[in-house]
Amino acid sequence: MELQDKFVENVVFSFQEQGEKWLNDLPHLLHYCERKWGLSLKEPYTLSYNYVAPAVTRDGNEVVVKIGLPGQEFNQELDALQALNPKGIVRLLDEERERGVLLLEKVEPGTMLSTVEKEEEVSQIAASVMKGLVAPVENKKGLPTTRDREAELARICEENPTGLGPFSGADLKRALHVFAIMNTTASNLKLLHGDFHHYNILSNGRDSWIAIDPKGLIGEVEYDFIQFLMNGLPQEGAADVIANRVNRLTEELDLNLKRLLLWGYAHSVLSSAWTVDVTTGKYDRSFSQCPAIFKDLYERYYGHTIDDFLGKRAP
């Protein structure tokens, strides 16, 4: 069985010896899935860290098999699939937690939201999916929260006191300060997707869209939109696109504009920091422009800077 080179590289880099063992065991696990569910597996999709492939059951139904290393990340995805509002998330048909296996419905035609050209339509679709996706926190309290995201940025600050990639040490600390205030003042918490963006929203029939690949996160709905706001930006005019998306989403879902922009600043610094390769110094330049855009939007709407806000609101 020949696996995609980038997939093997990602798994070994991230999981080392455990990843190598899992890759060696993967052919046996695929055969197990075929026997258990009576499947005929097809060629996998382009792989990153999980093995994902379409399959056909004995009855001729099309499904998708997704296999990842068993552990915390897999458990969180499974918990999220089971707890999110089924109107907005891909349907889980069966699972084996101990083996890291998910049997999912195949989303057809499965076109990504990133293929839709009209920005107004993109935001409207995203808002509609989010409406049918979020669930009460009571459904699953064991999932990570936005306080865990704050803790991750605190770790980055501690390990990079002089800065990381395009951000100075002061930039990182400012974003951490905003994170702390936002978490302290958060209300109306919901169970969220946790990685909501254009590439995790697929067409599910005529004028119907659905989310896939949830990470599961507890927080405010405004927070879950930030990754969407940062994705699919043009090379020119990114600030205008984000501003239009912000306006559309706040109107569609009655979001808190101030909290959306502040979460935007805090999370975009964290998300951009995740892209930095400490060996080469390279980073995602599309993402790294977003903190400044959220800062400018905040100042435009509220007439003072984020630093002014922080001066009045110590965590």
Instruction: Set out the domains of the chain in order of their start, with CATH numbers.
Output: 5-105 (3.30.200.20), 113-312 (3.90.1200.10)
pLDDT at residue 11 in the model: 95
Q: What is the pLDDT along the chain (315 residues), one digit of tens a residue?
A: 789 999 999 999 889 999 999 999 999 999 999 999 999 999 999 999 999 999 999 999 999 999 999 999 999 999 999 999 999 999 999 999 999 999 999 999 999 999 999 999 999 999 999 999 999 998 666 899 999 999 999 999 999 999 999 999 999 999 999 999 999 999 999 999 999 999 999 999 877 999 999 999 999 999 999 999 999 999 999 999 999 999 999 999 999 999 999 999 999 999 999 999 888 989 999 999 999 999 999 999 999 999 999 986 644
Residue 38 CB partners (closer than 8 Å, separation 6+): 57, 58
Q: Is 32 helix (H, G, I), strand (E, B) or coil?
A: helix
Instruction: Supply the pLDDT for residue 315.
Output: 42
pTM of the model: 0.93
pLDDT of amino acid 88: 95
The predicted pLDDT at position 296 comes to 98
Please tell me the predicted confidence (pLDDT) of residue 215.
95
What is the distance in angstroms between the CA of the first residue and the CA of the last residue of the chain?
54
For 88, list phi and psi in degrees, rounded to 5: -115, 0
Q: What is Dmax (Cα atoms) for the chain?
A: 64
- CA distances, 186 to each of 18, 149, 243, 256, 260 (Å): 38, 14, 23, 11, 12
Neighbours of 108 (CB within 10 A): 11
* Residue 96: alpha-carbon gap to chain centroid: 23
